[in-house]
Every structure is written in structure tokens, then in C-alpha cells.
Amino acid sequence: MQFAFTDEQQMIRESARAFLEAEASLPAVRLASGAVNGYDEGLWQQMTAELGWSGIAIPEAYGGAGLGFVELGILAHEQGRRLVPSPFFSTVCLATPVILELAREEQKRQWLPAIAAGQLKAAVAVTDRVGHADIRKVGVKLAQVGSAWVLSGEAHFVVGAQSADLLLVVASAKDANASQSLRVVAVASGTAGVRIEATEMLDVTRPMASIYFEQVSVSAEDCLGVDIDASSGLQRALDQARTMLAAEAVGGAEYSLEAVTAYVKERVQFGRAIGSFQAIKHRLADTMVLVEAAKSMAWYAACAADEYANEALAVAASSAKSCCADAFNAVASNAIQLHGGIGFTWDHHAHLYFKRARASSMLLGSPAWHRERIALGLGLSQIASVPQF
Amino acid sequence: MKIGFSAAQEQFRNEVATWLAEQLSGPYADLRGVSSHTAMVERRRVWEAELGRARLSSVGWPVEWGGRGASLAEQVIFAEEYARAKAPSRLNHLGVELLAPTLLSYGTEAQKTRFLEPIVMGKEIWCQGYSEPNAGSDLANVATRARLESGPNGDEWVIDGQKIWTSLAAFADWIFVLCRTEEGSRGNRGLSYLLVPMHQAGVTVRPIREMTGHAEFNETFFTGARTAAANIVGAPGEGWKVAMATLAFERGVSTLAQQMDFTNEFEALVKAAQANGQATDPLIRQRIAEASIGLSVMRYSALRMLTNAESGALSHEAFTYRLYWGVWRKKLGELAMDVLGPSGEYAHGDSPLAHDLQHMFLFSRSDTIYGGTSQIQRNQIAERALGLPKEPRGN
């Protein structure tokens, strides 16, 4: 038990921060979010091919650095501070754990070294039209028709879909004997019958798309793994990705707090820095309490992603995801308030963080959904009594 | 960064758990589950001695003073197992957790030799004399005075004044007192940190009945109370520095024991909610989940804080931790009452479980007051951690 960064982890953090401060200023972030596919390909190549960020948690046997979710979380956290738009979350934090949990050996050999080298971008299509976080409610079906398999349906809120080369599609499958299971199917993004429609989102820093599958022919070989239900492995990978969202949210929250703290020290009204008013000080103090709590949770959950078995990880991931999302939302909204009028403008960065906070809290399960999951994990029986009107 | 324990650490856990189980199902079965700080005092003194003999009174202390020189991880394990075994609340926690570390840092060799062993063995119970009627949040506004006098017993400090909110004073043997020893000094200058025996004519204790109905705190009056000139920690006039060091130990390993109490309270609340069906209410479920997240926040914040404390710096989470748990526990109390529903309004609850939860609800109103109100905590976070301008001071 050692709940502090090692020297190596500290070094990864410092070098990532220095790199992003130089290469991903807020104006650059705005520019990137307006680019094709919503990110800066040159920056992505630097992050991956040069710095090796996409391979940090990929085993050495597949061309990665063989580190874990704490190191990956450090990179997610640093990018969260700058709201860097990139395929990092979709490819590295989400698709890679799915591959590691579920893919066959030859699939891993095909994809993981390419991801580590920055040559392959991937996205995971798991969410239905309503945005359910429950994997039993996916909107894509995989049906066996004779000896062939056909994908149909739609997936929404797919992070990084526009730029992805490889789509990992979660589908409820029914084979010729009508036996049902959950499968993850690998589909190249240019495949006939796959239509990717970019959706304009409030959060411009994390592009999403809807994907429509119109009778897409696939083979059994395209499924990850061999003839097994993907639920348990997928759930683990999703929980690991949730811990990375938590780390990223903490990065955003931390930066928001630093920026607004600096502002209230400079902004003078009534002849004094507004940061000298107790109303402001106490609000920022409460904000800091949330940020520090969220930090503790994010790093705990990142450790859990490496160390815990599925059920314990689920509780840790849900705890961190909801706690960090709530904290980021609160911090980002306080930041707008304490900046006053300027914080309400399009040109100021505060709304970018505010919108990222909200979008992240809705991704892979809302805070309330995660709290209900924790309640179930605590063994609280479910039947609610409904009041009589 | 890693949260799992090593095989050797798990072996230590096993040793502690086995020992506690043997004691608490055997000779000390009557003490299992005793959580009140004022109940079964004489039996708990005997228990403290038993812990001391097993070198489990304060595992983190150096071996030469009766501890085991345990690592942080082992101290975490001890706190967890102590709570899991439902071992009684520590009678001498102020001595073990606050005074002793202060002496280890600031005391003379003679003081360590004189005072540490009786603390480890539960022979001398300590209480803390900081707050005064006019020195609450403004702790430095101390009016209790002490002066050195020569007498038949050699040089002695003679103390006059009043302390308040002294928990355990009713049966404590000694008190550490913050006194003004420089005539005419103000604020945090001119204070000294004295160790004073309680059993003497010059010390009078009067219980304060709190809104819980119980009397867990006291007023302590000093009227010409005396202690030997050597019973000063640090130099005369350095009392503030020493007192602040003691307060810093509140952020130390003792927080782990407190968290374990919180875990037990949370589990009691869940049990009550499942027993009366409230656990099926979606809003109650949300709040129970939120409370459980808070337990993890506190656990991992404490581990961060304690790990960072080893490097000497007071890190960000050390500033926010106190405010976090005070607010958390108050919410837990409110949740407990919502879970109990109307039966929580019976003056003593309608079951021992309900009574405990109700008492926790009432007591938790003090959690954002004692040891510095939440308002003071927020000032400190804003000024010391965020670097915002200081509050102007009145005269």
C-alpha cells in the first residue's frame, strides 16, 4: 500500500504537463475543435508516435510500455486540464481495454501495436438512442442468417467515431438456435452499410457521432473472442474507462479552480481584490474541498482498475465516476459565477469547461445511475414502495 | 501508487485480528461494542493496559517507547481491525494520539521517560485544555494565566483561569493546557504549553450537558492549580507552536480510527434502512450511495494526507479533510433521521440501534464546530491553501 505517485509517475505527469502547456493552449484547443474530425492530427501524432502515450498501458508484448491505469490516468488527467480534443479517450482509454479484455490473440496482435504506434484509431459503439448506460439496452442487433451474420440498428453518443478506423460495436446477438448473448463486433469504419453521422454537441472538445448499421454483413471471426458472452469483460473495460473519465474530470476541475482563483486575486471591485471577500473565499474553499475529494477518488479508482476484481472495481469506478463528475460540474459552474459577466461570454474559456463537465458526467452513466449501482452493490434490495395518491 | 497490502502486511492483519477476537470474546467480552467515550471507564482503563502489554496501544510509536515502529500501512490495518472487532473506544485517545506524539517531537528525554509509559499502559488518562469561553474559533485569545513561583516543592507553575469543552476531564489524570505566561502579551505570543495534574485542590471540573442530553464535555476551572516547573513542553512563550503541532496530529493516524467509527455508523444506518424498508426508496438509496462514496473519499484522502505528511509538507488535502468529514457526518446524521422516520422522534429511539443513530444525528451538529468551525476552516483553506488575501483583524 503506497497511496502516492512513484518517482516515475511523477515524471510522467511533469513531462505531460510541460508538453501540453506548450502544445495545447486554450486557443489551440478552440482551433482544433473546429478542424476536420474535431482534433489536431499533428498533435495526436506527437502524443502517440513520438511520446508513446497511446501505448502506455498496452503490454510490452504488443508494442506498449506495459504500465497501468495509474499512468494512463495521469495522461487523461493532464489532457483533462487542457480539454485536449483527441482520439485519446476513445482509442486508448476505452477501445484498448475492450480489446485487452475480449479480443483473441491474433486480434490483439493486429490492433494493439498499431494503436501503440499511433497508426490506428478506434471507437466503441455501446450506447443506444436514449443514452442508457446499461449494456443490456444496446441498440444494435447481430443476427445469424443461415451461415452469415448481419448487424443492424444504431448506436449513439459514440466518442471519436468520425476519426476511428476501427469500430468496436456492442450488439445483442441471436444465433440460429435463437440463443442470445452480448457480442462485440469489429467493423472497419468504411464498411458498406455503416453510416457515421457526426452530431453537433454542446461540448465542442469531445466529438461524437451516431452510427447506423444497415444490414451489415460480418463474419463470426469479426467478433472479439471466441463464442463467449462479452458482458463481463465489457463491463470491466467500461469500468476501467470510467475511472479514466474520472481522472480526466479531476484534471478539468483542478484547472478550473486554479484559473478562477488567479482571477479573483486580480479582479478589483470596491477598491479590493474580490478574492478578499469572504463570500468568494468560502465559495472557493468549498470548491477546493470538492476537488480534493475527487482527486482522492480518481486515484483510488485508477488503482482499482489495475488491482481489483470485477465487482469491487464496479463499485470503485461508479464511486469515482459520480464523485468526480459532480465535483467537475460544481467547480465549472462556480468558475462561471465567480468570473462574473466575462465568464458568461463565448470568448472566455469557462463555458468550455462547464460544457465538458456536463458532457462527461453523462458519458457511460450519469452520477445518479452510478449511485444506484453503488446501492445495488451495497446489497440494498430494489423494490420501491410507491406512495398512494 | 498501489492500494493493495503485501503478504507481510496481511500477516500483521491476521495477528491483530486474532488477538482482538480472543480478547473480546474472552476476558473483555463485556467491552465489545462499547462506543461511548464516557461508559465503563474503569474497565476501559484495564483494557488500555492490556493493549499496552501487547504493544498494540500505539503501534506507530518507536519500539523503545512501547510501540512497534509500524509503517503507515500497518497502522491503517490496525485501525481497520480494531473497528471490525468492535473493540471499545479508546479511553486515552487524547494521550495516545495527541499528547504522546507532541512529546515525541518536542518533549525532553525526562518528559518522555516520565509520561509515555503511563500513557501506553493506560495508567494516566489525558485531557486537553485549549478552548476558553472567549477563545473558541479565536483560539489564541487565551486568558488562562500561569506564573512561576518558588515554594516548598521547588519552582512550580501556578495556574488561574478557565477552560471549556474539555472532554474526558471528569476522569482524566492529567491535562495539557495552553496558558498565558508572559504578562501583557496578546494573541499567540507569550503562551506556554503546560502539563498539569488534574487531581488537586486547584482544579475543579463541571460537566456541560449538551443538546444530546448527555454530558460528554466539561468546564475545567484552575484556581491556583500547580504543576512542577519542568512540566512545560517547549520553551516558555513557545506554547502556540507546540499547540499547533498537537492539532496537526489530529490530522494524523487518529483520523483512521475515527473513519472506522464512521464506517460502523454507516453500516448501522444501512441496517436500519433495510429493516424498515426505507432502503427501497430511490432517494434514500441515492443518499446512502453518496454517503458510501464519502467513506471512500475520507479513506483515500487520509491515506494521501498521511503519505504526504511523511514528507513534511502540509498538502492540499490536509486542509480540506477536516471540513469534508464534518459536513459528511452531519449529512449522515440527517440521513439517519430520514431513514428512521417518525420513530426517530421518540426521545430515546425505539431500539438500541435507533437510539445510537439518533444520538449520532444530534452529536454531529458539533462536528462542524469543535476544533475550528467550518467557517474558520473555509478561511484557512482560502488563505493558506488558495493564497487569497487574509481577513482583516479587529483590535
Q: Give the number of other CB atoms < 10 A from CB of residue B286.
A: 17
- Residue A139: DSSP 8-state: S
Q: Any residues with CB less than 8 A from the CB of B230 and at least 6 apart, and which?
A: B108, B110, B111
Which residue has cell 460544481? A330
Note which residues in 207-266 of chain B have CB less than 8 A from chain A.
none
Write down the pLDDT at residue A387: 62
- Which domain covers residue B208, as residue numbers? 126-237
Tens-place pLDDT, residues A174-225: 988 889 999 999 999 999 999 999 999 999 999 999 999 999 999 999 999 9
B377 has a pLDDT exceeding 70: yes
CATH code where residue B226 lies: 2.40.110.10
The C-alpha cell at B217 is 464535555
State how far residue B262 is from chain A, nearest Cα, in angstroms: 16
Of A9, A264, A374, the CB nearest to B289: A374
C-alpha to C-alpha distance for B280 and B343, rounded to whole angstroms:
18
B395 has a pLDDT exceeding 80: no
The C-alpha cell at B38 is 464516557
Q: Which of A288, A322, A382 to mutate: most B Cβ within 10 Å?
A: A288
ipTM of the complex: 0.95
Q: What are the C-alpha distances in Å from A130 to residues A199, A352, B50, B317?
A: 14, 24, 61, 38
Q: Cα-flanking dihedrals φ and ψ of residue B164, to 5°? A: -140, 160
B224 has a pLDDT exceeding 70: yes
Q: Any residues with CB less than 8 A from the CB of B285 and at least 6 apart, and which?
A: A371, A372, A375, A380, B279
Q: What is the mean pLDDT of chain B?
A: 93
The C-alpha cell at B98 is 495527541
In a domain, A386, yes or no: no
Mean pLDDT (whole number) for B107-126: 97
The residue among A121, A141, A161 that closes a domain is: A121
Tens-place pLDDT, residues B31-47: 999 988 888 999 999 99
H helices of B251-348, where? 254-275, 282-309, 316-340
Q: Does B285 touch chain A (CB under 8 A)?
A: yes
In a domain, B344, yes or no: yes
CATH code where residue A95 lies: 1.10.540.10
Beta bridge partners of B207: B218
State how far residue B353 is from chain A, nearest Cα, in angstroms: 18
- Which domain covers residue A20, as residue numbers? 7-121
DSSP string covering B73-138: HHHHHHHHHHHHTTPPP-TTHIIIIIIHHHHHHH--HHHHHHHHHHHHTTSS-EEEE--BTTBSSS
Mean pLDDT (whole number) for A377-384: 80
Its pTM stands at: 0.95
Contact list, A372 vs chain B (CB under 8 Å): 282, 285-286, 289
B27 has a pLDDT exceeding 70: yes
Tens-place pLDDT, residues B232-263: 999 999 999 999 988 888 777 778 888 888 99
Residues B260 and B376 in one domain: yes
Residues A49 and A92 in one domain: yes
Is B180 within 8 Å of B170 (Cβ atoms)? no
Residues A333 and A360 in one domain: yes
Residues B213 and B177 in one domain: yes
Tens-place pLDDT, residues A307-357: 999 999 999 999 999 999 999 999 999 999 999 999 999 999 999 999 999
The C-alpha cell at B136 is 473558541
Contact list, B307 vs chain A (CB under 8 Å): 2-4
The number of distinct structural domains making up chain A is 3
C-alpha to C-alpha distance for B120 and B97, rounded to whole angstroms:
11
Tens-place pLDDT, residues A284-293: 999 999 999 9
Give the chain A residue nearest B286 (alpha carbons): A371
Residues A368 and A272 in one domain: yes
- Residue B197: DSSP 8-state: E
Give the chain A residue nearest B392 (alpha carbons): A276
SS (H, E, C) A321-338: HHHHHHHHHHHHHHHHHH
Dihedral sign, Cα of residue A276, residue A278, residue A284, residue A285: positive
In a domain, A385, yes or no: no
The C-alpha cell at A309 is 476484481
| Residues of B classed as catalytic | 250
Residues A253 and A213 in one domain: no
Write down the pLDDT at residue B311: 62
Beta bridge partners of A167: A123, A187
The C-alpha cell at B149 is 513561583
In a domain, A37, yes or no: yes
Of B9, B277, B289, the CB nearest to A385: B277
